[in-house]
Structure 1
Amino acid sequence: MPDPQARAWVEIDPVALAQNTRAIRSYLGAQTELLAVIKADAYGHGAVAVAEVVLAQGATWLGVATLGEAIQLRRAGIGAPILLLGGVDTAQQVQALLYWRVEPTLATWEHLRLFTQVAQTAGTILPVHLDVDTGMSRFGVPWHEAIPLIQAVWHSPGVRLASLYSHLATADDPDPQGVYLQQQRFRQVLQEVQRLGIPCPKVHLANSAGMLLDRHLHYDMVRVGLALYGYAPAPHLEGILPLHPVMGVRARITQIKEIAPGTGVSYGHRFVATQPMRLATVGIGYADGVPRGLSNRMTALVRGRRVRQVGMITMDQLMLDVTAVPEVQVGQIVTLIGREGNHQITAQDWANDLDTITWEILCGFKHRLPRILSASPVPVSLGAIASES
């Protein structure tokens, strides 16, 4: 349960996370592994806690963006293979990779020289994952330049080719033409690698959207982020799997006041009451991750009822119109994202209102909001969830 003194918090539902992971795992073929993407502190959900649940439910790999994220997991006792999706460019970073048993992405000739030199000096072999840029134009070796680099990796001492992968740029688009163009380019690289007799233990291409779009994109492993946390990446991909949002956001009412018609509310008086109103001030604001752009547009749930937010959202507080909610009191818990009674507000709702993406909303909640496990009719611990089959 939340700290009675907490003004606001992020609530994580380990049961929903476990259910989502099992649904994804059962959707994949027996030969396809699940890499759980838990970069950015597991999209704001808490990387260590998420890692414990998803690994217990069938994930075999973890994906992170930075070396620091990987070290956090290792220090917490997470022993599963970790793929570093971002780049490293110093000898000290590569030495840390070796020490913490983190497998890096290789995307350039400079990477190969650095990895080889450090690994040889250490007297070991570093597994590397070669990222082929088939259309993302972000990280990775361009697909039409990939073969010489792959050959060099294969013949270089100190490194071992652990996988070839690429990243889909438009898998959430209703038109799959771009996806299949990238797959065609990726397939050409794989065919040439096979012709050259270069063994590659693992091949992976699909993100959450690619996984849901077409099983032919699954290959040896899929890299799933958003779907783990309960959201389909696009409307046309909804309903394929039974996904449940894992994150809730709640806060407490800190003051209730009556205002008269003509009273302006919050900075700039962008809202002016047209009738007598009861306002509830809530202890959460844009410094916590509630976008200011939702001012006068969002709703919240109070005592199972949907109420509107009024006035500009401020750094630490926002105001709700609770005129129609009886018996509301200071200390009352307000649901900003989550379910109460028959109503639910999701991160996707906020994203739709702001013309942005669900990923941005989930990652936006700051760490001055404590992360807690959601209440359950039966006490639930991460250990209990981990033991489910």
Structure 2
Amino acid sequence: MQCDRAWVEINLEALTHNVRQLKQWLAPKTDLMAVVKADAYGHGAIAVARTALAAGATWLGVATVSEGIQLRRAGIEAPILILGATHTPDQIRAIAYWRLDPTLCTPQQAQTFSETLASLDRHLPVHLKIDTGMSRLGMPWQEAVKFVQAVQDLPHLRIASVYSHLATADDPDPTILYQQHQRFEVAIAQVRAANLPLPRLHLANSAATLADRSLHYDMVRVGLATYGLYPAPHLRSVLPLRPVMQVKARITQVKHIQPGTGVSYGHRFVADRPMDIATVGIGYADGVPRNLSNRMTALLRGQPVAQLGSVTMDQLMLDMTSIDQPQVGEIVTLLGRDGAQAITADDWAELLGTISWEILCGFKHRLPRVAVGQPQTSREASILRI
């Protein structure tokens, strides 16, 4: 299939490289969970999951029941942890049927799970979330013993892990990180002193995985680093990761404009000299933020070219004055590498005052995902093109 307008390229070879680098970084007995929620941060959950597992990941993390079901329907058999909260009997029945692992955050939630599973005559592994300072999901760390005991006493539930999540692991100042770590350690020590089960412990996200091996425990949950980006600049020297996603589009028209000519809605750019401009078939409906208007650059033939005027829903304009005879159909790189030049999600995030996670997740699915590099099987490539 030839993409006629714009597309997202997913380099499965780079993904394999990143997973192998992470595996080498971990202790031999520490499992790697590849976090593939939000359609693998926009990369395509099914192909990413298969590739990550083939490269050495042993667990998958999703946010919702439907994300887990999508992976099971694709034939993926690895353990899948639902990181979000689930409560309703319908959700619980689906979790049991599709053999997903839920996160439990309160005794009340655990009670609902146990009662629903009793009606199904099913048992389920569950993962208990302890809040050590994120103030999002989970029981307060001071109540860890009470929580673990309450779940242990319920029928049809088997505690598979106890875990927490870090709020500031990407901050160069580790004060809060180590406060959370200490709280986790205290909670775990109290659970052990009560002779309650602790089959598996996990705490580290991408930043903590890169920052400190003492945070690895039995498993790490890695999202952003799997996709070749670093959670913070000071972590870039830890492992040589490769960005997995590139975003490309084709030139659809080239024209010459005179000084005084306005470009795009609102004439937020007006030419001050004769210029060659190209219209490119991608816009904010595809995931290029409109707030990048007049601020971003793209790459053509290895050269940076400035974007002009307002980014529109389906198109944007680029300054081609420095390019020798740009042609309709030529491929422009919006994110990724072209020759010696590269534009990253971090570059866009810095311009917008946001984070690279948001940039990656923003590319809409009317942009086909196309595999490049060496996909694990030909099926991966076809799935990415859906």
Same-fold call, TM > 0.5? yes
**Aligned match of 1:101:** 99
Q: CA deviation at 1:124?
A: 2.0
**Aligned match of 2:348:** 350
For 1:120-157, what per-residue CA distance to the aligned partner results, in whole angstroms no more than 9, with x for missing partners? 22212111100000000011111112221110111211
**Aligned match of 2:223:** 225
Q: Does 1:194 align with 2:192?
A: yes
Q: Answer yes or no: is the 8 Å Cα contact 1:255–1:280 preserved in 2.
A: yes
**Aligned match of 2:62:** 64
* Amino acid across the alignment from 2:14: A
* Amino acid across the alignment from 2:244: V
**Aligned match of 1:156:** 154
For 1:45-71, what per-residue CA distance to the aligned partner results, in whole angstroms no more than 9, with x for missing partners? 000000000001110100000000000
In the TM superposition, what are the counterparts of 1:283-294 in structure 2 within 5 Å? Answer: 283-294=281-292
**Aligned match of 1:146:** 144
For 1:139-181, what per-residue CA distance to the aligned partner results, in whole angstroms no more than 9, with x for missing partners? 1111112221110111211101100000000000110000010
Q: CA deviation at 1:31?
A: 1.1
Q: CA deviation at 1:5?
A: 4.9
Whole-Å separation in 2 of the counterparts to 1:21 and 1:381: 14
* Amino acid across the alignment from 1:154: Q
**Aligned match of 2:85:** 87
User: Secondary structure at 2:85's aligned position in 1?
Assistant: coil
**Aligned match of 1:314:** 312
Whole-Å separation in 1 of the counterparts to 2:379 and 2:22: 16
Q: Answer yes or no: is the 8 Å Cα contact 1:14–1:385 preserved in 2.
A: no
Q: Does 1:382 align with 2:382?
A: no
**Aligned match of 1:267:** 265
Select which of 17, 26, 29 maps to 1:28.
26
Whole-Å separation in 2 of the counterparts to 1:184 and 1:294: 41
**What is the Cα-based RMSD across aligned positions, in Å?**
1.2
Q: What is the identity percentage for the equivalent residue pairs of Structure 1 and Structure 2?
A: 61
**Aligned match of 1:335:** 333
Number of equivalent positions: 380
Whole-Å separation in 2 of the counterparts to 1:167 and 1:385: 35
Q: Does 1:299 align with 2:284?
A: no
Whole-Å separation in 1 of the counterparts to 2:38 and 2:155: 33
- Return 5+ residue gaps in structure 1 as ranges: none
Whole-Å separation in 2 of the counterparts to 1:373 and 1:117: 44
Q: Answer yes or no: is the 8 Å Cα contact 1:250–1:336 preserved in 2.
A: yes
Q: CA deviation at 1:256?
A: 0.5
Q: Which is further off, 239-248 or 115-124?
A: 115-124
In the TM superposition, what are the counterparts of 1:120-135 in structure 2 within 5 Å? Answer: 120-135=118-133
Task: Name the TM-score, length of structure 2 as normaliser.
Answer: 0.97
Whole-Å separation in 2 of the counterparts to 1:216 and 1:384: 39
User: Secondary structure at 1:211's aligned position in 2?
Assistant: helix
Q: Answer yes or no: is the 8 Å Cα contact 1:116–1:159 preserved in 2.
A: yes
Whole-Å separation in 2 of the counterparts to 1:266 and 1:79: 50
* Amino acid across the alignment from 1:52: R
Whole-Å separation in 2 of the counterparts to 1:61 and 1:304: 39
In the TM superposition, what are the counterparts of 1:205-244 in structure 2 within 5 Å? Answer: 205-244=203-242
**Aligned match of 2:255:** 257
**Aligned match of 1:7:** 5
Whole-Å separation in 2 of the counterparts to 1:5 and 1:336: 15
Select which of 108, 115, 122 maps to 1:110.
108
Q: CA deviation at 1:384?
A: 7.9
In the TM superposition, what are the counterparts of 1:364-379 in structure 2 within 5 Å? Answer: 364-374=362-372, 376=373
Q: CA deviation at 1:95?
A: 0.5
Task: Name the TM-score, length of structure 1 as normaliser.
Answer: 0.96
- Return 5+ residue gaps in structure 2 as ranges: 381-386
Q: CA deviation at 1:119?
A: 1.5
Whole-Å separation in 1 of the counterparts to 2:16 and 2:250: 28
Q: CA deviation at 1:225?
A: 0.2
* Amino acid across the alignment from 1:300: A
Moved over 6 A (4+): none
Q: Answer yes or no: is the 8 Å Cα contact 1:15–1:385 preserved in 2.
A: no
Whole-Å separation in 2 of the counterparts to 1:225 and 1:267: 37
* Amino acid across the alignment from 1:347: A
* Amino acid across the alignment from 1:28: L
User: Secondary structure at 1:362's aligned position in 2?
Assistant: helix
**Aligned match of 2:42:** 44
* Amino acid across the alignment from 2:292: L
Q: Answer yes or no: is the 8 Å Cα contact 1:18–1:385 preserved in 2.
A: no
Q: Answer yes or no: is the 8 Å Cα contact 2:36–2:61 preserved in 1.
A: yes
Whole-Å separation in 2 of the counterparts to 1:223 and 1:385: 26
Whole-Å separation in 1 of the counterparts to 2:241 and 2:337: 15
User: Secondary structure at 2:84's aligned position in 1?
Assistant: coil
Does the C-alpha gap of structure 1 residues 370 and 5 become closer, same or farther in structure 2, counting only changes over 3 Å? closer
